[in-house]
A and B are shown apart, each in its own frame.
Chain A
Amino acid sequence: MTNANWPLWEVFVRAKNGLSHKHAGSVHAADARMAIEAARDVYTRRMEGVSLWVVPSSAIVASDPKEAADLFEPAADKVYRHPTFYTIPEGVKNI
């Protein structure tokens, strides 16, 4: 038995060029190269991607669910940020 715990990496997959990388899951690996290879085996067995990012999970800073209201609720009462908020006279086109 070994105590060598491989660190955790988050895996992001680009499905095809033109799209952004999207989080797919995570893998354990000793280093970045191994993380890429493990991610390839685990997350792209069915042509799910053309490019991979692996990021040490420890490098990710996440917002706290407790501050979700402070962060995201202010957007809720600003409907004027959406085009549908505005009244346009009937018959006016291309706007």
Chain B
Amino acid sequence: MYTTELKDKDQKAAAVSLADEDPEKLAAFEARVAADDFIEPKDWMPEAYRKTLVRQISQHAHSEIVGMLPEGNWITRAPNLRRKAILLAKVQDEGGHGLYLYAAAETLGTSREEMIDALHSGKAKYSTIFNYPTLTWADIGAIGWLVDGAAIMNQVPLQRTSYGPYARAMVRICKEESFHQRQGYEIMSVLAAGTAEQKRMAQDALNRWWWPSLMMFGPPDDKSPNTAQSVRWRIKRETNDELRQRFVDVTVPQAEAIGLRVPDPALTWNDERGSYDFGAIDWEEFYAVVRGEGPVAKERTQARVKAWEDGAWVREAAVAHASKRALKMAAE
């Protein structure tokens, strides 16, 4: 799963601080990054680079963790044991991805607690896609195929992102992610080849998830002021619009192959560009979801906070046990 880098309140502060950096160190840093060298935790880096990364990596981690909720919703109702085992494995992977990413962000000097607090208090953002509900089993297919498909599109270039720990986390994640997309596409293709009602269910899921999936790539390039800086620092390797176009180009034939129709009347093949032209995205909806007005935004945060609070006694017990054992060992 993936998140686009969404703005929060710290962003302005990060943007102005470049002027305060030591120009010599900054130039050396920029030269290294431009030469595709990796930056490692103990290397010097501009404060704005550090802050942008903490924001992007932690948002990405939060998206993995919150992303477990819409799918977890269907584990007990998976149509058979095979699907249930697969979905369990996928949701467990998402938890693992969250952990790789939190650990990468922690190398930049933030703590797990701070990040989790920011998520639970609503200060931190996560991908808008998870604030849509999963109404039918076909939604699990659509999420794997489209949401994880969009994630892969975004994450593959991030394996070469300039910050070493982030790049390494992305390598692990990408390795695991392609099964996620395939199992989703398989669900969709089985439904699409089933009864009329099953096919209708698959089409309905595609209809509801198509546009939110395109929004996952973030605002259009001309409305994404940080893209240039992030591309220059190799935090991002490609722009939102480039990745979105590539996603449309590979996904439309996949829909056609299983007899489903992408819900966009403006969709046409453009021979000249060698790409699909597609209809306008409803950015008002996107910004509303970013603001926390997504259909199930409240439920998602509540579920996270409840899980955290209900698990408090386990965390406390583990610490009590560890300190008791440490005392005992010291006494021996």
A residues near B (Cβ < 8 Å) are 1-2, 4-6, 8, 25-31, 34, 41-42, 45-46, 62, 64-65
Q: Is B275 part of the contact surface with A, judged by Cβ < 8 Å? A: no
A45 pairs with B96, CB closer than 8 A: yes
From B103, B315, B321, A27 is in contact (CB under 8 Å) with B103
Q: Residue on A with the closest CB to B165?
A: A25
- A3 CB, nearest partner CB in chain B, Å: 8
> B106 within 8 Å of A by Cβ?
yes
Given the complex of chains A and B, what is the CA–CA distance between A6 and B102 in angstroms?
14
- The answer for the CA separation of A28 and B102 in the assembled complex, in Å, is 10
The contact of A2 among B44, B103, B312, by CB within 8 Å, is B312
Which has the most chain B C-beta neighbours within 10 Å: A5, A25, A64? Answer: A25
* B89: chain A residues within 8 A (beta carbon): 45
Chain B residues near A28 (CB-CB < 8 A)? 112
Chain B residues in 8 Å Cβ range of A6: 315, 318-319
A sample of 5 inter-chain contacts (CB < 8 A) reads A1-B312, A27-B99, A29-B318, A42-B100, A45-B93
Whether the pair A31, B325 counts as a contact (CB closer than 8 A) is yes
With A and B bound together, what is the CA distance between A42 and B168 in angstroms? 14
User: Which of A6, A29, A64 has the most CB atoms of chain B within a 10 A radius of its CB?
Assistant: A6
Give the A-B pair count, Cβ closer than 8 A.
58
The closest CB in chain A to the CB of B44 belongs to A65
Contact A30 B93 (CB under 8 A): no
Residues of chain B within 8 A (CB-CB) of A30 are: 315, 318-319, 321-322
B43 close to chain A: CB less than 8 A: yes
Partner of A25 from the list B40, B103, B326 (CB cut-off 8 Å) is: B103
- Besides A4-B315, A8-B103, A65-B42, 17 new A-B residue pairs in contact (Cβ under 8 A), listed by A number: A1-B309, A2-B316, A4-B316, A5-B112, A6-B315, A6-B318, A25-B100, A25-B168, A25-B169, A30-B315, A30-B318, A30-B321, A31-B325, A31-B326, A41-B96, A45-B176, A64-B42
* B40 and A42 form a contact (CB under 8 A): no
Report the bound CA distance from A34 to B314 in whole Å.
12
How far does the Cβ of A22 sit from chain B's closest Cβ, in whole Å? 12
Residue of A nearest to B39 (CB): A65
Q: Could you tell me if B42 and A2 are in contact, using CB atoms closer than 8 angstroms?
A: no
List residues of chain B with CB under 8 Å of any chain A CB.
Answer: 40, 42-44, 89, 92-93, 96, 99-100, 103, 106, 111-113, 168-169, 172, 176, 308-309, 312, 315-316, 318-319, 321-322, 325-326
Residues of B within 8 A of A4 (CB): 315-316, 318-319
> B60 to chain A: closest CB distance in Å?
15
Cβ contact of B103, chosen from A26, A45, A64, cutoff 8 A: A26
B residues near A26, Cβ cutoff 8 Å: 103, 106
For the complex, what is the distance from the CA of A46 to the CA of B173, rounded to whole Å? 12
B residues within 8 A CB of A25?
A: 100, 103, 168-169, 172
Separation of A71 and B322 alpha carbons in the complex (Å):
39
Q: Contacts of B319 on A, CB cut-off 8 Å?
A: 4, 6, 30
For residue B309, which residues in chain A have a CB less than 8 angstroms away from its CB? 1
What residues of chain A lie closer than 8 Å to B96, measured between beta carbons? Answer: 41-42, 45
Q: Among the interface residues B93, B172, B322, which one has the most CB atoms of the partner chain A within 10 A?
A: B322
The answer to whether A42 touches B315, judged by C-beta atoms less than 8 angstroms apart, is no
Across the A-B interface, give the 3 residue pairs with the lowest CB-CB distance, nearest first.
A30-B318, A31-B322, A4-B319
Which residues of chain A come closer than 8 Å to B168, judged between CB atoms? 25
Q: Determine the distance from Cα of A62 to Cα of B107 in the docked complex, in whole angstroms.
A: 13
